[in-house]
Structure 1
Amino acid sequence: MAATYDTSKKKSGTFRKILGWTVLILLLAGSGYVYYRYYFVFGEGVKSGYLNYAVKKGNLFKTYEGKLIQEGFGSAKVGTGISSNEFEFSIESDSIFNLLEVNSGKYFDLHYKEYHGILPWRGNTRYVVDQVVNMK
């Protein structure tokens, strides 16, 4: 007696494998994109200047924000003339914010990390200050 095989089950199994691998690849690619866009540190360095302000603000997520006024002059936009160089940043922790808040107007050297994208709970800028290097 000859054995008979059901080819519809074999086709269904192959389709499931292909679908499974496709979904897995899409999830890995999506995860890689999210990591690169929002968590990968693109650059880091130190900026120096006089602290203009440090504030806590936000509608849904309260974040710490600040601005340094750097020495020298630059052009903010083409055709607008000369303006001061400004560095707007978000602040990583409460302790750094408290130090900056009580020393507004002083000269700071701030270490920052730069990301490709903005997360609402991390701050309003791509630059996140994680350390006060020096204060004068």
Structure 2
Amino acid sequence: MNESTSQTSKRGAKVKSFLGWFFLLLLLIGAGFVYYKYYFVFGEGVKSGYLNFAVKKGNLFKTYEGKLIQEGFGSANTGSIRSNEFEFSIENDSIFHILESNSGKFFDLHYREYHGKLPWRGNTVYIVDRIVQMK
């Protein structure tokens, strides 16, 4: 009898060890996914255009949002013409105040692009982090 209880306890220890490693691996994969989806910078660059608006809005999280109207025309549907627009979120209030007081001017804005949106970061995946130039 002593041998069978010893084998059962060894088997139970192996199962607990396996489950521990499995949940740790699952946690690491989940953390990696969250980082990749919401914090990994997918791309960055500069967009230029005329500032259409800069607003502070939100129900629970107040975020800064804006829109640039870019020169040229694009078409989502065949046979229709519309202007190119770049909708973005603004990283901090100092950039927002500059944009807010200079609506209608031409801006070159540096942005970072993420795979996913976070409610406290803004309504878009494009986050403007600095103003390169204003004309």
Asked whether the two chains share a fold, i.e. TM above 0.5, the reply is yes
Query: Given the alignment of the two structures, is residue 53 of structure 1 paired with residue 75 of structure 2, yes or no?
Result: no
Q: Which residue number in structure 1 is paired with residue 133 of structure 2?
A: 134
Please give the residue correspondences for 1:1-136 in structure 2 after superposition, counting only pairs within 5 Å.
Answer: 4-5=2-3, 6-75=6-75, 77-79=76-78, 81-136=80-135
Task: Quote the offset at 1:79 in angstroms.
Answer: 3.8
C-alpha distance in structure 2 between counterparts of 1:82 and 1:40, whole Å: 34
Which shows bigger deviation, 6-15 or 104-113?
6-15
Deviation at 1:85, TM superposition (A): 0.5
2:104 aligns to what SS in structure 1?
Answer: coil
Q: What letter corresponds to residue 86 of structure 1 in structure 2?
A: E
Give the Cα separation in 2 of the matches to 1:20 and 1:80: 59
Instruction: Please report how far the alpha carbon of residue 7 of structure 1 lies from its aligned counterpart in structure 2 after TM superposition.
Output: 1.4
- Tell me the CA shift for residue 8 of structure 1: 1.4
Counterpart of 1:123, as a letter, is: G
Superposition TM-score, scaled by structure 2 size:
0.95
Query: 2: distance between equivalents of 1:80 and 1:91?
Result: 33
Amino acid paired to 1:50: Y
Q: Deviations over 1:66-87 (max 9, x none)?
A: 0000001111x21461010000
1:59 offset after TM fit, Å? 0.7
TM-score normalized by the length of structure 1 = 0.95
Q: Which runs of 4+ in 1 moved over 4 A?
A: none
Please, what is the CA RMSD of the aligned residues? 1.2
What are the ranges of 5 or more consecutive residues in structure 1 without an aligned counterpart?
none
| Unaligned segments of structure 2, at least 5 residues | none
Q: 1:94 to 1:85 in 2, by over 3 A?
A: same
